Structure 1
Amino acid sequence: MDYLFYFAIVVLGLIIWSFINDKKYQKNLKKHLEREWASYPEEDYNADKMKSIKSFYLTEKDQYLDVDDITWNDLDMDEIYKLMNNTQSSLGEEYLYALLRKPCFSSEELEERNRLIEFFQSNKEERLQVQIKLNKVGKLRKISVFDYINKLGEQKPESNIPHYLMALGLLLSLGYVFINPGIGVGLSLFFMVFNIISYYRYKAKIDNFLLIIAFQLRLLDCIDDLAKISIPSLEPYVKLLSEDLKKFKKFRRGSYIVVARNVSGNLLEALLDYYRMIFHHDLIKYNIMLSFFKKNKDIMKRIFKTVGFIDSMIAAASFRDMVEYYSLPQLSHTKANPKLSVSEVYHPLINNPVANSITEDRCTLLTGSNASGKSTFIKSIAINAILSQTIYTSLSKEYKANYFTVYSSMALKDNILSNESYFIVEIKSLKRILDKSKGDYPILCFVDEVLRGTNTLERIAASSRILATLAKENALCFAATHDIELTYILENYYSNYHFREKVEGNQVLFDYKLYKGRAVSKNAIKLLNLLGYSKDIIIEAENAADQYMKTGEWSIISDN
């Protein structure tokens, strides 16, 4: 009896210690969430992590309306996503990625997103409560929860008879200790080792699926917790989740002993792990739960999406509080004569960015020297168009525009695997934009140095016709170019803007401000002087440039 008393004392002590440890974890978590709000989230990303994050989007992909891979990479949207990813669960981070890839064309949906974002911005305590609940659901580092929920639905439950026999063998051996201690202890050790080895052999086949089952159980617990706190702004979502939760009552019954739900970890969970290894309780329950899950997979998918949406809206709220300033976009469904007006727009990935403004209902050519700001400006417009139609946020003082599909052709490379030259890759990229410009929604497109992969004569001839065709379609195109000739050829279709630089002493200075009209400076020639070129070369180059600007023709160089 003394042994039972001491055993009870130890168990009680472990429970109290675990309770205190959990309270300490909750306190530290709250401090961490407060510290991480409106700052760059602490998250490790590798190729496998990014692959899992993209999985949900790939199941929802739309070939026409979505931000395609070329545009996403051109705009460094992975970095924008990482800047914004202050989510607490795998559901949230996968949903947020998909949301940024899928511009929304519904004003009602965007207004609802904004309602939630503003709520989380303004109500710190309620937001922290929700974040703490979501944090308990956790993030799976190696796999996609959306991907594996589909794979889980394809699994077939195995027989539990071998597990029952192994557990029974161990129990009988333990009982035999009281009859013949020597044999009983030997048999007990044998079955323990045999059961543990068998456990890992079975578990290796379903390890990732057990992770998903555990994730679902933590998710269902989270919904239970959310239903217990009164947050009127979340009531429609909590009500929907609570109704779905009722359908998983049988699924949850007796499940705590199966898989860990507490991502913080404690000593009791460690002891339960040994219990699972010896008695295979989690493997037995897994097969029972799998049969139930297969019948209710669609409901669980709906739960995944609802919770993922809430988590992603919290991340969007944190992003808004992080940036210097933002505005709510004013979007129009006018499908003809697309327009865009943006005031003091800036790029979210640049420290101390220079803001610019533009209002246009015509396509636009941007000229200026290298590093003057052309590419950064058009990327800023493109990124803000995407953010406006996803998280209803523009990094500007004002943003007015049509609902657009967004495409770009900018940071292209040779495709070595398919043996395609830069020029082939480029003309394919431009062709996809021309094809998409005939869709139901106006297209907002961005081109950097069109057809740079070929000679000057053919580049100007071909690029001018491609850009003119885009201007005649339902498109608003922003194209950066060094070819001044295009500003004359296309002046009936394109407005002209430029960026400037000036040479002072031994320095080239940029103000990164947008100016109306085509670029007229010859600072590129002046740079020759800084690098010690002869004055004859510089004077002759300036004269040649002046003559071309006047006549549109280059003079032939001769000894005379």
Structure 2
Amino acid sequence: MDFILYIAIIFIALVIWSIVNEYKHKKLIIKQLEEEWGFYPENEYSPIKMEAIKALYLSEKDNHLDVDDITWNDLDMDEIYKLINNTQCSLGEECLYALLRKPSFSKEELEERNRLIEYFRSHKNERIAIQAKLKNVGKLRNLSAFDYTGKLSGQKPQSNLPHYILNIALLVSIGLILIKPFLGVSLTITTISLNIFSYFKYKAKIDNYISIIAFQLRLLDSTEAILKISVPELDAYFKQLASDLKTFKQYKRGSFIVVARNVTGSILEAVVDYYRMITHHDIIKYNSMVSYFKKHMDTMIRIFKTVGFLDAMIAAASFRDMVEYFCIPELSDDYGNPKLSVVDVYHPLISDPVPNSITEDRCALITGSNASGKSTFIKSLGINAILSQTIYTSLSREYKANFFLIYSSMALKDNILGNESYFIVEIKSLKRILDNAGKDYPILCFIDEVLRGTNTLERIAASSRILASITEKNTLCFAATHDIELTYILENLYSNYHFRERVEGNRVLFDYKLYKGRAVSRNAIKLLKLLGYSEDIITAAENAADEYLKTGEWSTI
């Protein structure tokens, strides 16, 4: 009796200790959520993790309407995504990525996103309560919740007979202790060892799938907890979730053994883990759950997307509180007259950025020297166009534009594996813009140094005709170039803007401000002097440039 009493006291102490720890854990989570709000999220992104995050998007990819890979990479959108990704669970980070890749062309859809974002910004207590529940769902390290849920539906349940036989052998050996203690103990130890060994053998085959089921169970528990929070503004989402959760009551029954969902990090969880190893109870339950899940996968995916969408909207709300200023875009569906007007737009990845403004209803060439701000400016326009049509947020004082398909051709590289030169890669990149133009929506495109991969003569001849062709395709193009000749050839089709620099003493200074008109400074030659080139070379270069501007021809040396 004393032994049983001691066991009971130890068990009660463990339970109390776990409850106290759980309470402390909840307080710590709330404090962490408060401190992280409106700041750059500190997440780890391995290449495998990024591939997992992309899985949902890749399953829904639209080659025409979406932000394609070239544009996404040109605009450093992975880094923009990381800046926004203050999500609490894998569903949120996968949904957020997919949302940023898929610009919306519906004002009603964007206004609903804005309603949610602003609600989460202004209702701290409700937001934190929801975030805390989402954090319990957690983030899968290198797995996609959506991808592996799909793979789980393709699994065939295995027979539980081997596990039942092992359990019967364990019970028999334990019973034998009462008859022949030494033999019984020896057989029990042997059977337990065999059970643990075979457990890891079976578990290795389905470990990722058990991780997904465990994730699903945490999600179902957390979603039930979220529905207990009073949030009338989310009523439509909560009703759908409540309806879908009813489908999985049977799925959850007895599923606690798959994962100790409410004792994370506690001693009790370790005890349950040993119980699983000895009895294979979680593997047995896994096999029975797979059959049920296969019949109701669509409902689970709907729960995934609803919860993930709300998590993504909370992250967008945090992003708005992170940035210096933003505006709600004014988007037009007047598809026959593409235009863009932004006031004090800036790049979110640059510390202390210099804002710029532009209003255009026709294409524009932007000239200026290296490092003067050309590429950064057109990237700022592209990034804000995507943000405006996804999280309904522009990093500017004012943003007015059409709904656009968004393309770029900027940070291209040789395709060594495909045996393609830079020039081939470039003309293919430009052609995809022309191929998609003139269809259902106007195109907003950004080009940096068009056809830089070929000689000057052919570059100017070909690029001027390509840029001219773009203007006939219901497209608004912003092209950065060093070729001043283009500003003359295309002056009837393209507006001209430029960035300036000035040389003071031994320094080159940039103000990073956009000015109307073509670039007129010739500071590139002045830079030769700063680097110690002889006066003869500098004077000769200046004279040659002056002569070319007068005659349009280069003299021989």
TM above 0.5: yes
| Runs (5+) with no aligned partner, structure 2 | none
1:320-342: CA deviations, max 9, x gaps?
A: 00000000000000111200000
TM-score normalised by structure 1 residue count: 0.98
CA deviation profile, 1:293-325 (whole Å, cap 9, x unmatched): 000000000000000000000100010000000
Separation (CA, whole Å) in 1 of partners of 2:489 and 2:73: 31
| Partners of 1:238 and 1:446 in 2: CA distance | 41
Q: Deviations over 1:378-412 (max 9, x none)?
A: 00000000000000000000000000011000000
- Offset from partner CA, 1:350-400 (integer Å, 9 cap, x none): 000000000000000000000000000000000000000000000000000
Equivalent residue runs for 1:222-241 within 5 Å: 222-241=222-241
Give how far 1:173 is off. Answer: 1.4
Q: How far apart in 1 are the matches of 2:544 and 2:491?
A: 23
Aligned match of 2:218: 218
Deviations 1:222-274 (A, max 9, x none): 11101111111111111110110001010011111222324842111110000
Specify whether residues 10 and 263 from structure 1 end up closer, same or farther in structure 2 by C-alpha distance, changes over 3 A only.
Answer: closer
Corresponding residue of 1:482: 482
Equivalences for residues 145-294 of structure 1 within 5 A: 145-262=145-262, 264-294=264-294
Classify the secondary structure of the residue corresponding to 2:70.
helix
Stretch moving more, 392-401 or 7-16: 7-16
Q: In 2, distance between residues paired with 1:531 and 1:135?
A: 56
Describe the superposition over 1:485-522 as per-residue Cα deviations: whole angstroms up to 9, x where unpaired: 00000011100000000000000000000000000001
Matched, 1:95 2:95: yes
Identify the residue that residue 505 of structure 1 maps to in structure 2: 505
- Report Cα offsets for 1:529-560 as digits up to 9, x if no partner: 22233333323322332333344x124135xx
Residue in 2 aligned with 1:115?
A: 115
Runs of 4+ off more than 4 Å: none
In 2 relative to 1, CA 263–42 (structure 1 residues): closer, same or farther, beyond 3 Å? farther
* Inter-partner Cα distance in structure 1 for 2:536 and 2:138: 69
* Structure 1 residue 73, shift from structure 2 partner: 0.5
Question: Hey, what's the Cα distance between the residues in 2 that align with 1:36 and 1:110?
Answer: 26
Counting only pairs closer than 5 Å after superposition, residues 398-477 of structure 1 correspond to structure 2 as 398-477=398-477
Q: Supply the distance in 2 between the matched residues of 1:530 and 1:16 (Cα, whole angstroms).
A: 74
Q: Which moved more, 1:522-531 or 1:132-141?
A: 522-531
Kindly state the Cα deviation for residue 483 of structure 1 after the two structures are TM-superposed: 0.3
Which residue identity is paired with 2:407?
Y
Distance in 2, Cα, partners of 1:356 & 1:405: 23
**Which sections of structure 1, spanning at least 5 residues, go unmatched?**
none
Q: How many angstroms apart in 2 are the aligned matches of 1:274 and 1:228?
A: 33
Kindly state the Cα deviation for residue 178 of structure 1 after the two structures are TM-superposed.
Answer: 1.3
**Does residue 1:556 correspond to 2:526, yes or no?**
no
Q: What is the letter of the counterpart of residue 50 of structure 1?
A: M
Q: What letter is aligned with 1:84?
A: I
Query: Is 1:59 the equivalent of 2:36?
Result: no
Q: Deviations over 1:64-107 (max 9, x none)?
A: 01010011111111001111110000000011011100000111
Paired AA for residue 502 in structure 2: K
The residue type equivalent to 2:48 in the other structure is D
C-alpha deviation, 1:169, in angstroms: 1.3
Offset of residue 42 of structure 1: 1.4
Answer yes or no: is the 8 Å Cα contact 1:526–1:538 preserved in 2.
yes
Q: Is the 8 A contact 2:498 2:517 kept in 1?
A: yes
Take 2:238 and 2:140, find their aligned partners in 1: how far apart are those partners? 24
Deviation at 1:525, TM superposition (A): 1.4
Structure 1 SS opposite 2:445: strand
Deviations along 1:145-164, whole A, 9 cap, x unmatched?
10001100000001111111
Counterpart amino acid of 1:282? D
What are the within-5 Å matches in structure 2 for residues 320-359 of structure 1? Answer: 320-359=320-359
- Structure 1 residue 176: Cα displacement: 1.6
TM-score by length of 2: 0.99
Matched letter for residue 247 of structure 2: K
CA contact 1:25–1:264 (8 Å) conserved in 2: no
SS in structure 1 of the partner of residue 311 of structure 2: helix
RMSD over equivalenced CA pairs, Å: 1.0
Deviations 1:434-460 (A, max 9, x none): 111122100000000000000000000
What secondary structure, in the 3-state scheme, does the structure 2 residue paired with 1:256 have? helix
> Does 1:4 pair with 2:4?
yes
Number of corresponding residues: 557
Contact 1:120 1:127 in 2 (8 A): yes
Q: Which moved more, 1:525-534 or 1:287-296?
A: 525-534
Structure 1 residues 540 and 532 mapped into 2: Cα distance closer, same or farther (>3 Å)? same
Cα deviation per residue 1:417-438 (whole Å; 9 max; x = unaligned)?
0111101111111111111112
Q: Secondary structure at the match of 2:54?
A: helix
